Amino acid sequence: MWMKDNQVDNKNPIDLQEIYRNVLVLSENLVALAKSAQWETLVSRETEYVLAVENLTVLTHEYEQQEPITDEFIQFLQQIIENERITKEYLQKHLNFLSKEMKQLEQKRVLNNSYGQFNDSETPYIIKPME
């Protein structure tokens, strides 16, 4: 697809619509992972998504120099942005949950140290999953 000095290879034209669809599918997958609280998988897939968006940005810029962006591309982009908003919302809820759990664990540790009770430092702390 790319040639020397980032020139577009006209023999293999870019299917920008397909690339937008692929990025949209990736963003939908991130939403599904966030909804199902699969945080580790979400984080690992986030890198793939960011790289795809960066690639899309470069290709869109190249494409715009040859043809105007159509309403269909704008709709794809709006859906992608909405998926990012939803994913960010779930991530923020999870961050708030983890923050609350960390504060509770710290309070428990302080209480245990203050009163000398339950001073078994080898007892692991258990964080319950968000419900």
The two structure tokens encoding residue 82: 């909405």
In this predicted structure, which of 68-77, 100-109, 111-120 has the lowest mean pLDDT?
A: 111-120
Q: What is the pLDDT of residue 123?
A: 61
Every domain of the chain and the residues it spans:
4-113
Q: What is the pLDDT of residue 49?
A: 95
What's the pLDDT band for 48 if we cut at 50, 70, 90? Answer: very high
**CA distances from residue 49 to 32, 57, 97 in whole angstroms, order as listed:** 14, 12, 25
Q: What is the pLDDT of residue 125?
A: 63
Local structure of 8: helix, strand or coil: strand
Residue 89 reports pLDDT greater than 60: yes
Is-contact 60 69, C-beta < 8 A? Answer: yes
| Bridge partners (DSSP) listed for residue 2 | 8
CATH code of the domain made up of 4-113: 1.20.58.380
Mean pLDDT of the chain: 83
Q: What's the farthest any 2 CA atoms get from each other in the chain?
A: 76
Residue 33 reports pLDDT greater than 70: yes
pTM of the predicted protein model = 0.71
For residue range 4-21, what is the model confidence (pLDDT) as tens digits? 443 444 445 678 889 999
